[in-house]
Amino acid sequence: MAERKPAMKGTQKSAKSTTKKAAKKAAARPSPRADKTDGESAVLAAIVAMPEPYRVMGERLHAIIKASAPALSPKLWYGMPAYAKNGKVVCFFRSAEKFKERYMTLGFNNEANLDEGHMWPIAFALMELTAAEEARIGALVKKAVS
């Protein structure tokens, strides 16, 4: 009786689909050499896509962060506008729509130099941006990158 060889068809197909999936993921990832302007374009596009009033607040936050810490590189981080130092996100913001919250959020990651004592805030709810909030945000961002 002749011995039958197992079918390899399914294995070949899954290997091909795995390779295709990996190629798609690699193509979707931004190049590590993507320059600062590509990141800024992506951030500005994300801000433009925000519904009102978050779009206006996002535009102001972008301007404040860039003016307060020009060394930070804008980039998208989990679909949110973010600003990085040496490739690591220091601060970010998101509209209320992102997680169905009632306020916009400005957050700082562990790369931010905001440590003060044994406890300090790392995220702020934003309902409106007045001159007082803008000044406080500018000071926080400067401190975060110091």
Residue 9 located in a structural domain? no
Cα–Cα distance for residue pair 62/44, rounded to 1 Å: 8
Cα–Cα distance for residue pair 56/128, rounded to 1 Å: 10
Q: Is the pLDDT of residue 22 over 70?
A: no
Residue 26 located in a structural domain? no
* Mean pLDDT on 97-105: 91
The boundaries of the domain holding residue 125 are: 36-144
Which has more confidence, 121 or 16?
Answer: 121
Residue 93 located in a structural domain? yes
Cα–Cα distance for residue pair 140/135, rounded to 1 Å: 9
Residue pair 115/41 in contact by the 8 Å Cβ criterion: no
Residue 14 located in a structural domain? no
Residue pair 108/65 in contact by the 8 Å Cβ criterion: no
What's the alpha-carbon Rg for the chain, to the nearest Å? 22
pLDDT in tens, 127-137: 999 999 999 99
pLDDT at 84: 98
Q: How many domains does the chain contain in total?
A: 1
What are the tokens at 108? 């700082």
CATH number of the domain that residue 117 is part of? 3.90.1150.200
pLDDT at 97: 87
Residue 6 located in a structural domain? no
Residue 29 located in a structural domain? no
pLDDT at 98: 86
